[in-house]
Chains A and B, each alone.
Chain A
Amino acid sequence: MPRDDPKDLHPDGMIVIRDLFKSFGENRVLQGLNLDVKRGEDMVVIGRSGSGKSVLIKCIIGLIKPDRGSIYINGEDIVPFKEKNLNEMRKKFGMLFQFGALFDSMPVWENVGFGLKQHTELKNDEIRDIVKEKLKMVGLDGVDDLMPSELSGGMKKRVSLARAIAMEPEILLYDEPTTGLDPIMADVINELIIRLREKLKVTSIAITHDMVSAYKIANRIAMLYQGKIIEVGTPDEIRNSNNDVVQQFIQGRSEGPITRGK
């Protein structure tokens, strides 16, 4: 069977995922997942803890190799990529990890400037200037020489965000951007995500189970359930969805189709 050209699948699809399967032993996490993310939009994938959201995002950036299926980035399937091509592809990405994943052996500025140091010929002074500017974009000033252990949770996330945007990526991936933060800091991060999208014109995918955050930052929301995307729509469409599973999740009810028989 000839493969469809992903450009035909979705003319302005930045990220097009087709029939993605991934199992860990007996545990079938992704079971034929399809998802289209348009250029410049912010797609938020919602789902329960352990539903495979993290696995999905790690497949997209090549940290986990799917068993089957295709992931087209700008029309190119990255699943068969080897290390070298993957690393070239990853330079287009920035990723914000759930707990920041800052390198704790180096100060903030080296963390943020890590990609620049590794992949450009820039001198330390020039890197420090860029780092300063990126830190300013995430609302931080004067933390350049602190160690990650000296930062609060919200600051760590923002430094990690600065690191993610340091190489001026086309695509940003957010792994639970607001988890573990107080509501005010969570909103600060939400605002930042929106501002970065407008300013940097990036395409972003965020995974979260925080509905406040999802409604706020999403252009479109996709619900991941039993290894598949069961519904995609704008925040309003999702809010008014007829799907009982979606309704149970977004309302956060313990009774419903998701938990029936468990």
Chain B
Amino acid sequence: MRKLFVLKTIGFFEEAGRIVILFVNTLIWTFRPPLNLKNIVLQMEYVGINSFFVVFIMSIFIGMVFALQSFSGFQKFHAEAFVGTIVALAMVRELGPVFSGLMVSGRVGAAMAAELGTMKVTEQIDALNTLATNPIKYLVVPRFLASLFVMPILIIFSDIVGIIGGYLVSVYILDQNSEVYKKRTWDYMELEDIYIGLIKACVFGVIIAIVSCHQGFHTMGGAEGVGKATTRAVVQSSLLILISNYFITALLF
């Protein structure tokens, strides 16, 4: 039992170490020309454009339900007018970044791990090496840059859609005054709220790309291995997103 615990602990640190090493190597290769623009654009399209629809649906419903819930709570002490404030702050500070991060890790992280994992087990990554091409440069850097640049855009989009969702429910279903709602939305919003949301977006983007690519690179066995790698990529990146989210909030707000 104790031996198993020790082994698991060593395994954990080994994996964490490998992820950090991959991150450092990715940074090094990012700054080594040339950049493969075609691959970066392809990945941005994949990470970004194809995620907009799911993020839209997700955000509008989060904004809507949050308005509904906070209205029924605030009503008890006649503070309904602050629904707009709480929806906007919650969306921009936490809900937008975290939920988008989780959604993208499930959608894009899983796909990255599965694609790279399949390439690993079918020797395509070995083939890249034999063609004198570094797999980190060719495969990880474009995914890393795409996630890094697209996540902030996705999260701003998510914030806006969530706020609109809250507005729609408050004004058209709960009969709040439209002007008051808008004013309350903007009155308490500070620039800091937005840029911390963006910092979170970048960090989450990095986590998703690096963790998923790492899992892909270390896939063993056939189809089963690819399945396991995909699951691990989503679980690890989701947990890391939630954990890092707490620390960013604690340090920066």
Contact with B along A75-105 (1 / 0, CB 8 A): 0000000010001101101110111011111
A114 to B36, CA, bound (A): 13
CB of A8 to closest CB in B, whole Å? 30
A97 to B126, CA, bound (A): 9
Count B-side interface residues using an 8 Å CB cutoff.
Answer: 15
Q: Which of A35-92 contact B (CB under 8 A)?
A: 58, 61-63, 83, 87-88, 90-91
Stretch at the interface among B7-15, B130-138, B161-169: B130-138
Question: By the criterion CB–CB under 8 Å, are A90 and B123 in contact?
Answer: no
Tell me if B127 is interfacial: C-beta within 8 Å of chain A: yes
Q: Which of B126, B132, B133, B134 contacts A101 (CB 8 A)?
A: B126
Contact with A along B163-189 (1 / 0, CB 8 A): 000000000000000000000000000
Question: By the criterion CB–CB under 8 Å, are A101 and B131 in contact?
Answer: no
Tell me if A118 is interfacial: C-beta within 8 Å of chain B: yes
Tell me if B69 is interfacial: C-beta within 8 Å of chain A: no
CB of A174 to closest CB in B, whole Å? 12
Tell me if A115 is interfacial: C-beta within 8 Å of chain B: yes
Tell me if B75 is interfacial: C-beta within 8 Å of chain A: no
Tell me if B72 is interfacial: C-beta within 8 Å of chain A: no
Tell me if B124 is interfacial: C-beta within 8 Å of chain A: yes
Please name all residues of chain A whose beta carbon is closer than 8 Å to the beta carbon of B122 when the two chains form the complex.
99, 101, 104
A97 to B128, CA, bound (A): 11
CB of A123 to closest CB in B, whole Å? 15
Interface of B is mostly: helix
Known contacts: A83-B134, A87-B134. The answer to whether A101 contacts B127 by CB under 8 A is: yes
Please name all residues of chain B whose beta carbon is closer than 8 Å to the beta carbon of A93 when the two chains form the complex.
130
Q: Which of A81-140 contact B (CB under 8 A)?
A: 83, 87-88, 90-91, 93-95, 97-99, 101-105, 114-115, 118-119
Question: By the criterion CB–CB under 8 Å, are A90 and B127 in contact?
Answer: no
Known contacts: A97-B123, A101-B123, A103-B124. The answer to whether A114 contacts B131 by CB under 8 A is: yes
A99 to B118, CA, bound (A): 13
CB of B128 to closest CB in A, whole Å? 8
13 interchain pairs (CB within 8 A)? A62-B129, A87-B132, A87-B134, A88-B132, A98-B123, A99-B122, A101-B122, A101-B126, A102-B127, A103-B127, A115-B133, A118-B131, A118-B133
- Known contacts A90-B130, A93-B130, A98-B123; can you find 4 more A-B pairs with CB under 8 A? A87-B133, A97-B127, A101-B122, A119-B132
Across the A-B interface, give the 6 residue pairs with the lowest CB-CB distance, nearest first: A101-B123, A101-B127, A87-B132, A90-B132, A95-B130, A115-B131
Binding site for A on B (CB under 8 A): 115, 118-119, 122-124, 126-134
